[in-house]
Amino acid sequence: MPDIVMTHILDRLPVQDAVKTGILSKNWRFKWTMLRRLVFDKDFYLYLILKTNNESKFGRIISRLLLHLRGTITKFVLYIDERCYSALDEDIASWFLFLSRKGVKDLTVTKTNGEPLNLPSHLFSCLELKHLKLFYCRLDPPVDFRGFPNLLSLESGLLHFESSKFEEFITQ
């Protein structure tokens, strides 16, 4: 089976199932490292909590998985529950740096109650973004930020900006 077909199959599976395909055969062993669509949504979070019974492993598992990935990332979905948020600050910054280098095109970030998620400055280096969805996040665009040149859609809810930067963000 051609690699592109395998990648399309893997992209349609939940991340945890895509990684498990590595045990199918020698041919499939490292194919999951070519995943382009990473969905760490509420279902993934609940799956991990039920499996590990430890919220602190959430960030560690995502970080380890990202270390093995090759190629571009077309879609990244991240759900952050308040219960594990405090342990994720450094992880989140490194994930966004990773995404900025992998040319992410579709990004969704959802944070549950508590304090809004402070999005790291690396978000503003994701210049390939076409679709951006942010829920319960805090943005502080750098002074030299000139917008996302390829952005086609922006969806937000409970977005927090530093002072008057909302107008600058939208008009860029």
Tell me the pLDDT tens digit for each residue of 36-69: 899 999 998 888 877 777 667 788 888 999 999 9
Quote the percentage of the chain above a pLDDT of 70: 90
Domain residue ranges in the chain:
1-35, 43-171
Nearest CA-CA partner of 158 in 125, 117, 124: 117
Q: Is the pLDDT of residue 168 over 60?
A: no
Tell me the pLDDT tens digit for each residue of 141-161: 888 888 889 999 999 888 877
pLDDT class of 14 with cuts at 50, 70, 90: confident
Q: What is the DSSP string of 70-120?
A: -S---EEEEEE-HHHHTT-HHHHHHHHHHHHHHT--EEEEEE-SSSPEE--
Q: Is the pLDDT of residue 3 over 80?
A: no
Residue 161 in tokens: 């900006």
Residue 118 in tokens: 């402070």
Is residue 131 classed exposed, middle or buried when 0-12, 13-18 and 19+ CB atoms within 10 A define those classes?
middle
pLDDT class of 23 with cuts at 50, 70, 90: confident
Q: Report the run of H or E that residue 171 belongs to, with start and end.
A: helix 165-171
Q: What is the mean pLDDT of residues 103-125?
A: 92
